[in-house]
Amino acid sequence: MIVLVIILAVLLAVSVVFNLKLSKNKPPTVDSVHAATREILNHDVGAVLILSDSEQILFYNNEFEQLFPKIAAVANISEFPALRKLFSAKEYVSEELSKIYEIRCEFLDEDGSASRFLWLTDITSHYKTNKNLQELKDMADAANKAKSNFLANMSHEIRTPINTILGMDEIIIREATEKPIIGYAENIRDASTTLLSLVNDLLDFSKIECGKMEILPVEYEIANVLSEIMNMIEIKVANKGLEFTPVVAEDLPYLLYGDDVRLRQIIINILTNAVKYTKEGSVVLKVDWKEAGDSSINLIVSVTDTGIGIKPEDLDKLFVSFERIEERRNRNIEGTGLGLSITKQLLELMGSDLNVRSDYGVGSTFSFVLKQGIRDRKPIGKFREKYAYSREKHKKYRTTFVAPNARILVVDDNAMNIAVVEGLLKSTQIKVDKASGGLEALDLCAENYYDLILMDHMMPNIDGIETLHRLKEMDGPNQDTPVIVLTANAVSGAKEMYEAEGFIDYMSKPIQGKPLEEKILEYLPENRYVLVEYDKVEQDIFSKLWKSIADEITADYQFEQIDVTAAVESAEGSKETFRFLLESFRDNAAKNKNDIITSYEAEDYTNYTIYVHALKSTSKMVGALVLSEKARLLEMAGKEQNIDYIKESHEEAIDLFDKLAEEVNDYLTKVKPESEQE
């Protein structure tokens, strides 16, 4: 376009000169036309060259000559190949003049048969501006990345001392006898927990910013995710005197495939806000689902509160990082303005979105729909009731064992972490050896036998994984010792990853007393510990209580295979739990029986031993003591490779199993749950 304007200008100028000359009645000479053209084209329009249709050089201006001084000696462009190339180029860089030109090349006649026109415009300053802008943008990007990396590293570093504070504090709470001291320690625990969640938010935020946040799908039980959420949120709800109701669809498939860690985080974030921004009333968590084809479901989660609500004009600000709404009104409520932005971005990473409906002053509903795979369609059932049962069971937990003959090794480069584990295990009397790194651990392992090793993952020199690999390779007493890895990052899929490396299990930091004891008990050889019995008097009281509850149950139904008092003992005195145990037994009976029979028929006695071992405890749980004893003998025979005994007793065990299953079924059909009885 500009080219055409210039050409028009040139032609106009030529015609003006021509007309002037005409008006004086003198025909214009070619020279005078050229002079006028030259005059105009030499006025800062760029470098211009005009060729005839036979590539004869007709015209070039001063700037062109400055650029290509050799042009003066050339009549036809074919004698100047370097110049000819420009007709098909886009840019030309003149090193002598330190300039960059944009090249335009056009035909003066539209059909392309006549003269050509080459025009070079100086774009050096434009180019420099662009380049500067790009450089500035690169610098800003690099600074932003450095900030995110710094945040990620700092958050990681800050977590280590917080974990120590939490661990040491738990020891104080356990050991202190004076009430005020326990009170102070509890305050430290609450503040450190808040600090930890803050740092975790920062870590997530920076991970998302650097694009390092990964979604790791695994197989998971939705009831476990929901129970953990309930554990976290119930205390907060109770502290504020709110009502909290989880409504979970009973037909929700129990085994799903997705990133359970992130799902839990998202729901906890939304629920925590609902509790934070609600003064009175209720919070309802609803979990529903719909088929989504190709063995997946749409999980539909919503959280509704009767809280302060959000003004329509503020809705857009909800998801802006570090932005908080109505800061003055909410100044007493702790927060960073990161939670919802992380939640939304996590959902986006999983192909979903966060929806908000809110009525200012009335309440809000945050909801999302998340596609998850199905791994087992068995329905989850009555979540609330089952949760209440497992919580009761947890409450009654107390230190359960002493193990003065057991010896374990704790490997961690942070001495405080080791001190925490030592402190938490003090009451069990376990002998704890310490190593501050992988190499030291390997030295100790070459000389001593350990019943169990707890190994940190991230350590300088050689990390936990490398240490474990070397331990397995070296000759020594600990080749088969179970090793549990301690990790700061509880990400989804971590269990599978660590198991694949050869760890038997993993524990995430901060290490807490109860889970630590439970894990140790799981892997310590049976002959190394003694379970702490209840106090004798307490035991008597419980026995009487259990007997009376068993009497109530047997008044409705006469059991033959089940020792009801023993079953009530497993159910810790709850009739509801007793029924739940029987239901679980019934639900798994077909599979358990099938496992035993199939491995027996295949003469696969290794798996057979594992299955009868499981039968030993499941039958004991429901009070089927005769079957449990039979299973114990079969398990021993399996371990000793006493195949004759297995062959003699297998049928009898299956027979007992069938009778038990029939009785359990009969009871559950005939006797209604208490809640349904008039």
Helix 222-240 with 260-276: angle, nearest 10 deg: 20
**Upper half-sphere CA count for residue 256 (Cβ side, 13 Å):** 28
Please state, in angstroms and rounded to a whole number, the distance separating the CA atoms of residues 474 and 429: 30
Structure tokens at 103: 């090249």
Answer whether 53's CB lies under 8 Å from 113's CB.
yes
Contact code string over 302-341 relative to ligand ADP, x by CB under 6 A: ---x-xxxx-------x-----xxx---x----xxxxxxx
Instruction: Give the number of residues in contact with ligand ADP, rule: CB under 6 A.
Output: 21
Residue of 507, 539, 491, 514 lying closest to 393 (CA atoms): 514
Answer whether 621's CB lies under 8 Å from 568's CB.
no
Please state, in angstroms and rounded to a whole number, the distance separating the CA atoms of residues 294 and 108: 64
Structure tokens at 259: 């990133």
Which distant-in-sequence residues (6+ apart) come within 8 Å of 666 by Cβ?
none
Q: Residue 149 or residue 197: which is nearer to ligand ADP going by CB?
A: 197
Q: How far is the CB of 239 from ligand ADP (least distance, A)?
A: 17
Please state, in angstroms and rounded to a whole number, the distance separating the CA atoms of residues 102 and 132: 19
Q: How far is the CB of 307 from ligand ADP (least distance, A)?
A: 5
Q: How far is the CB of 658 from ligand ADP (least distance, A)?
A: 54
Q: Which residues pair with 456 in a beta bridge?
A: 486
Q: Footprint of ligand ADP on residues 236-275 (CB under 6 A)?
A: 273-274
Q: Residue 354 or residue 612: which is nearer to ligand ADP going by CB?
A: 354
| Amino acid (one-letter) located at 420 | V
Token pair 């114990």: residue: 632
Answer whether 298's CB lies under 8 Å from 369's CB.
yes
Q: Residue 21 or residue 276: which is nearer to ligand ADP going by CB?
A: 276
Q: How far is the CB of 154 from ligand ADP (least distance, A)?
A: 19
| Amino acid (one-letter) located at 309 | G
Please state, in angstroms and rounded to a whole number, the distance separating the CA atoms of residues 169 and 424: 10
Cis peptide before 482 (omega within 30 of 0): no
Give the residue nearest to ligand ADP (CB): 335
Token pair 């990473």: residue: 349
Please state, in angstroms and rounded to a whole number, the distance separating the CA atoms of residues 248 and 365: 16
Q: Hey, what long-range contacts does 425-430 have (CB within 8 A, 24 or more apart)?
A: 425/516, 425/517, 425/520, 426/171, 427/174, 427/399, 427/402, 428/399, 428/401, 428/402, 428/403, 428/517, 428/520, 428/529, 429/402, 429/403, 429/404, 430/403, 430/404, 430/406, 430/520
Helices (H) and strands (E) in the chain, counts: 21, 19
Q: How far is the CB of 206 from ligand ADP (least distance, A)?
A: 16
Please state, in angstroms and rounded to a whole number, the distance separating the CA atoms of residues 194 and 173: 18
Q: How far is the CB of 305 from ligand ADP (least distance, A)?
A: 5
Beta strands per DSSP E along 469-523: 483-487, 505-508
CB atoms within 10 A of CB 264: 19
Beta strands per DSSP E along 108-230: 116-122, 218-221
Contact code string over 548-587 relative to ligand ADP, x by CB under 6 A: ----------------------------------------
The distance in angstroms from the start CA to the end CA of the chain is 93
Contact code string over 359-378 relative to ligand ADP, x by CB under 6 A: -----x--------------
Residue of 562, 596, 573, 520 lying closest to 667 (CA atoms): 562
Q: Which residues pair with 304 in a beta bridge?
A: 284, 365
Answer whether 492's CB lies under 8 Å from 217's CB.
yes
Q: Choose one: 12-20, 300-308, 446-454, 585-593; the region binding ligand ADP (CB under 6 A).
A: 300-308
For position 400 contacting ligand ADP by CB under 6 A, the verdict is: no
Element (H, E) at 331: none
Q: Residue 325 or residue 504: which is nearer to ligand ADP going by CB?
A: 325
Q: Residue 309 or residue 373: which is nearer to ligand ADP going by CB?
A: 309
Q: Residue 192 or residue 364: which is nearer to ligand ADP going by CB?
A: 364
Structure tokens at 367: 């909801």
> Residue 9, SS3?
helix
Catalog residues that contact ligand ADP under the rule CB under 6 A. Answer: 273-274, 277, 305, 307-310, 318, 324-326, 330, 335-341, 364
